[in-house]
């Protein structure tokens, strides 16, 4: 991979506008801090842009997504304001091969819930917990160069039970000084896309300036780039016997006669079925 | 478990109405054949009812679902006609502990796609393929009493790539006389619910009268019953330090001042976020 | 399953003989405490016997193992004294369907290392850590009736990295007051046998009198019983085309002529290969 | 990774000496064909050497292994002749980070069985089956550039049940014209080492000249190189409270008094325990 990785850092950017303490902590926005961390670690190996909720189409147009190898996602206060159309679009791109890194409170974003199929609920507490991030998959590329454990002096607590599917790979487990535990670095493959969820990071703490946290995100960016040559979603196709390579488009679930007998509305429905 | 397992067999029941050949093959409907197979194998151990698309609320009211330990799902021609409200309801019950068995073309149902987060696409061919179902997890309860391989003389072909998440457990792999392969018996846990997808079965073949197929479905019914004592969905709760057992309800993502400063619409949004 | 589960509780029984404090803590031996806990929770559902290192053949004769549905294993100071022949025998029975529950320091037993293929190393500290056992697979039968978290006031600490294969299922994660984390309840299938490793329990603490710990072990006993009807190891067999059900015994890797040309020693070797 | 990957291709090299037909098919030995395929695809990116059973220490000295990033293994007729000392050495290097690619009949090699912990048995037939290799993990680097399906006109048949642990990743499934199925491309992590088992390839067929098979092996070589900077095995160490980074060596399982009371033999044993 010699061309730079094209990264889009998405930030909700609401706390920064509504809460002066957050604005002071993250003067370039939380998305700005995340973007700078990636650039710091990957340098010329990446080309990073940012996008936020208030941008037209949340900054995630078809054109932008087509030009994005890896998307990072941080949201919290306004998950409900993200338009379903944009969520559909991001979902489609992930299944077609775009990498996705979901950060912290992004666990409750529409896109993460769509990809997981679960409630993505957990236990939490915003106090002064110290977080220790332990590596349980030491050969995983995302864990390279990360101390074992990595210490985050103060961060919000997330605890189990975290209602997500059993991860494909569990890279990190976090403990908190209060005694809780969390599967804090986990990977999934959905369609042709690679997904990494990473727990640390909150508007109330300067977590995205923590060098180890930044390094994890940078490692994950490199990991999440697909090795497939082109972006194309999985499709449903019919294959004739002994013809393994040339699939035919789907023509609806009913036999032609039954199909013809149906009124227009039902025919439309079967088109929808076929997407 | 001494009380009988409460099973609801859901069938789309459209092919049976629209295609005389299917009606002749499945005189009690495909759902009827599935229900009879479960009763045949589990006898007094189950109480089976059926529900179909054309029933009010598709036969899947809150009351019915609350009274259902395991739901089986077969649909094909009219996935798009299943109301989103019913899909939401089934989804909620699965996450809260209801077992779900998705059959054959149910791979493209709204509920399965919702739970998987992927496109659930595959390759297919409705010809005269023989299907061999091989057990690759011989200690799994769903595989007990099933021949290795189990032979289905004629069935529709489904082949890889099947775009689903990596299964929690792969119980069966199918091969077809045309040479294709399919992960045909796979399990997932989502929320507190257990899910089994089983490939065989098509309106064009008498698959749901095949005794081995029926036995697999009956085994899966027993497996999918949750061992948790009550139906309750995972929740997001706040826990104070050193209080591991009493969670507080979520009160929105913003601090009280910022919350107060927001107009009504946004407040509504954050309620939605909190679900 | 109406017949009682036949359980053999194996204990090394060395600390109890060598260290008076351990003998005082576990007057019936650690194996005695484990056995009593299982009987307490499963009553007539089990028939429990114990066996120890100093018994002839460590109490694990072919006859005993054939009469054992589930074996539990605790060892620590004398792993090296367990005879390889007995380890081979236990290994064979596990692959043929006997359940195995490995407790605490049993992580370094020959039988667990044989089944895992890894070093089974970890970090540890015998101080006054409080252990919290968190459930991350709440639908798993082994987790039923266990508090979330389960509190063990004082126990030895085991921390990651625990060098074991990625578990088939991760049921429990433990945290320690020192901040460490451990995958403390994990399952594996090997051959036709089901294996559960459970971390808590040490000669220096009265862990095997803890009611929750006992309940986990009792749950695991029920879970580890195979559903297969008979004990028989997987075999390598040759199958003719179109004959899926009648395998032939293996007759050595070389063609008959080459085989004949070889001297006796090599022929012996190939028999060994075929086991 | 700019330095070339150091690959050692190990071949049993017995069929080639004992069976003229094999010698004719593989004039440079099967190991020669495997080595050439890797060089063909990776060019300057690799430095490949070969080693065989009849070399001193089977060509796998400590020095050679220390100089090997990835080892490939093909054996069949003489698994029993591989010395346990060499197997121990290879095992130690895999756990410390050396990649291992096990080919075809290597499924019954001592090293693979040691790493898996199972019987590694399967069903087989050496007839004229066509093998189709289907990709079920299309984003996996090992699958890149491989046709879906990949057709091998004639090869030995291996069928399920294959008694191995549930793979970390299932990359390929094979079907055979006789109707059997096999998990033919599977990955495992053991210790710090990455392992790939790949089914195709037999002395009776020219499989290792098949360009797709060669490409899979070359992809696997690149995948199996560890990303960890140094070769070091996982260790068991004691850590003081609040000292997460400096572990102490293990000093035996008993308290000092009990340890002192023991005679020499037992002390030796506990050293062995500590490995």
In sequence order, what are the residues at sequence separation of 6 or more whose Cβ sits closer than 8 angstroms to the Cβ of residue C135?
A160, A161, C143, C146, C148, C149, C171, C172
Mean pLDDT, residues D85-98 taken together: 98
Give the pLDDT of residue A260: 66
Separation of alpha carbons A47 and A50, rounded Å: 10
B220: left (phi over 0), alpha (psi -120 to 50) or beta: alpha
Mean pLDDT, residues D17-33 taken together: 97
Give the pLDDT of residue A272: 34
Separation of alpha carbons B53 and B75, rounded Å: 9
Closest CA to A105 of A187, A30, A167, A51: A30
B227 CB neighbours in chain C (<8 A) are: 139, 141, 144
Query: Is the Cβ–Cβ distance between C8 and D247 less than 8 Å?
Result: no
Closest CA to D101 of D75, D122, D80, D70: D70
Q: Looking at chain A, which residue has its C-alpha nearest residue B235?
A: A121
Mean pLDDT, residues D140-158 taken together: 97
Contact D139 A189 (CB under 8 A): yes
Give the pLDDT of residue B260: 66
Output C30 or D1, whichever has higher pLDDT: C30
Q: Which tokens hold the place of C242?
A: 């179109």
Query: Is the Cβ–Cβ distance between D213 and D220 less than 8 Å?
Result: no
Contact A227 D132 (CB under 8 A): no
- Mean pLDDT for chain A overall: 93
pLDDT in tens, B238-267: 999 999 999 998 777 776 666 666 544 433
Q: Which tokens hold the place of C71?
A: 């074996």
- Mean pLDDT for chain D overall: 93
Residue A219 has pLDDT above 80, yes or no: yes
Q: How far is CA C55 from the centre of its chain?
A: 19
B161 CB neighbours in chain A (<8 A) are: 234
Separation of alpha carbons C224 and D67, rounded Å: 43
- Taking the Cβ of residue A61 and every Cβ of chain D, the question of whether any pair is shorter than 8 Å is answered with no
Give the pLDDT of residue C31: 98
pLDDT in tens, A33-48: 999 999 999 999 999 9
Instruction: Identify the structural domains of chain C with CATH numbers, from first to last.
Output: 5-223 (3.40.50.880), 237-274 (no CATH)
Q: How far is CA B14 from CA B7, B104, D64, in A?
A: 21, 15, 67
Residue keyed to tokens 């079965």: B201
Residue A215 has pLDDT above 50, yes or no: yes
User: D264 falls in which pLDDT band (50, 70, 90)?
Assistant: very low
Residue D11 has pLDDT above 60, yes or no: yes
Contact B137 D166 (CB under 8 A): yes
DSSP string, D190-250: ETTEEEEEE----TTS-GGG-HHHHHHHHHHHHHHS--SSS------EE--TT--S-PBPP
Residue B1 has pLDDT above 80, yes or no: no
Query: Can you give the C-alpha Rg of chain A in angstroms?
Result: 21
Identify any residues that bridge with C52 across adjacent strands, giving them in sequence order: C11
Residue A179 has pLDDT above 60, yes or no: yes
- Taking the Cβ of residue D20 and every Cβ of chain C, the question of whether any pair is shorter than 8 Å is answered with no
Q: Is residue B34 within a helix (H) or strand (E), and if so which, with residue range?
A: helix B29-42
Neighbours of A2 (CB within 10 A): 4
Name the 3-class secondary structure at D120: coil
Residue D273 has pLDDT above 60, yes or no: no
Mean pLDDT, residues B43-53 taken together: 98
Give the pLDDT of residue A254: 72
Mean pLDDT, residues A83-90 taken together: 98
Q: Is residue B239 within a helix (H) or strand (E), and if so which, with residue range?
A: none
Give the pLDDT of residue C269: 34
Closest CA to A241 of C200, B187, B156: B156
pLDDT in tens, B64-123: 999 999 999 999 999 999 999 999 999 999 999 999 999 999 999 999 999 999 999 999
Is beta strand C99-103 parallel, antiparallel or unpaired with respect to A70-74? unpaired
Q: What is the ipTM of this complex?
A: 0.92
Give the pLDDT of residue D260: 66
Give the pLDDT of residue A274: 32
Chain B (172-201) residues lying within 8 Å, Cβ to Cβ, of chain D: 173-175, 177, 179-181, 183
Considering CB atoms only, which of A95, A123, A254 is closest to B77?
A254
Identify any residues that bridge with B51 across adjacent strands, giving them in sequence order: B10
Chain A (220-239) residues lying within 8 Å, Cβ to Cβ, of chain B: 233-239
Task: Give all chains having 3 or more CB-to-CB distances under 8 Å with chain D.
Answer: A, B, C
Residue keyed to tokens 């309750």: B232
What's the average pLDDT block by block, 10 residues per block, for chain C (275 residues)?
A: 89 97 98 98 98 98 98 97 98 98 98 98 96 98 98 97 98 98 98 98 96 98 96 95 91 69 42 33
Among B58-62, B271-275, C112-116, the minimum mean pLDDT is found in: B271-275
Query: Is the Cβ–Cβ distance between D93 and D190 less than 8 Å?
Result: no
SS (H, E, C) C51-91: EECCCHHHHCCHHHHHCCCEEEEECCCCHHHCCHHHHHHHH
Residue A62 class from Cβ within 10 Å (0-12 exposed, 13-18 middle, 19+ buried)?
exposed
Q: How far is CA A9 from CA A2, A58, A155, A202, in A?
A: 21, 12, 21, 16
Give the pLDDT of residue B261: 63
Contact B161 D138 (CB under 8 A): yes
Give the pLDDT of residue A266: 36
Chain C (111-130) residues lying within 8 Å, Cβ to Cβ, of chain D: 114-119, 121-125, 127, 129
User: A21 falls in which pLDDT band (50, 70, 90)?
Assistant: very high
Considering CB atoms only, which of D134, D162, D177 is closest to B181?
D134
Query: Can you give the C-alpha Rg of chain B in angstroms?
Result: 21
Interface test with C, best of D102, D105, D117 (most C CBs within 10 A): D117
- Taking the Cβ of residue A22 and every Cβ of chain B, the question of whether any pair is shorter than 8 Å is answered with no
Number of H helices, E strands in chain A: 9, 10
User: Is it true that the peptide bond before B43 is cis, omega within 30 degrees of 0?
Assistant: no
Beta strands in chain C (DSSP E): 5-11, 46-52, 70-74, 99-103, 123-135, 150-159, 169-176, 181-190, 193-198, 237-238
Give the pLDDT of residue B254: 72
Quote the DSSP letter at residue A4: P
Neighbours of A255 (CB within 10 A): 17
Neighbours of C235 (CB within 10 A): 15
- Taking the Cβ of residue C97 and every Cβ of chain B, the question of whether any pair is shorter than 8 Å is answered with yes
Identify any residues that bridge with C73 across adjacent strands, giving them in sequence order: C10, C102
A244 CB neighbours in chain D (<8 A) are: 132, 148-149, 151
A160 CB neighbours in chain C (<8 A) are: 134-136, 148, 173
D226 CB neighbours in chain A (<8 A) are: 139
Mean pLDDT, residues D76-96 taken together: 98
Identify any residues that bridge with A50 across adjacent strands, giving them in sequence order: A9
Residue D155 has pLDDT above 90, yes or no: yes
């Amino acid at each position: 991979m010699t061309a730079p990785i094209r990264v889009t850092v998405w930030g909700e950017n609401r706390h920064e506008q509504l809460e002066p303490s957050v604005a002071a902590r993250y003067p370039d926005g939380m998305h700005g801090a995340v973007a700078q961390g990636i650039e710091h670690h990957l340098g010329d190996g990446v080309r990073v842009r940012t996008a936020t909720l208030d941008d037209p189409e949340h900054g995630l147009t078809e054109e932008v997504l087509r030009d994005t190898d890896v998307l990072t996602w941080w949201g919290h206060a306004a998950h409900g304001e993200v338009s379903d159309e944009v969520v559909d679009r991001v979902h489609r791109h992930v299944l077609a091969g775009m990498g996705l890194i979901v950060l912290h409170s992004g666990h409750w974003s529409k896109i993460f819930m769509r990809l997981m199929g679960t409630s993505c609920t957990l236990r939490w507490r915003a106090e002064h917990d110290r977080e220790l991030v332990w590596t349980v998959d030491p050969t995983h590329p995302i864990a390279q160069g990360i101390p074992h454990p990595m210490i985050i002096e103060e961060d919000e607590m997330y605890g189990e039970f975290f209602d997500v599917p059993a991860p494909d790979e569990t890279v990190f487990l976090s403990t908190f000084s209060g005694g809780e535990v969390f599967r804090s670095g986990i990977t999934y493959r959905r369609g042709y896309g690679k997904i990494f969820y990473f727990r640390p990071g909150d508007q109330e703490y300067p977590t995205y300036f923590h060098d180890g946290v930044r390094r994890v995100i940078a490692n994950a960016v490199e990991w999440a780039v697909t090795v497939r040559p082109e972006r194309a979603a999985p499709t449903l196709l019919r294959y004739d016997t002994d013809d393994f390579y040339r699939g035919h488009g789907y023509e609806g679930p009913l036999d032609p006669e039954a199909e013809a007998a149906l009124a227009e509305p039902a025919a439309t429905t079967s088109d929808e079925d076929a997407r």
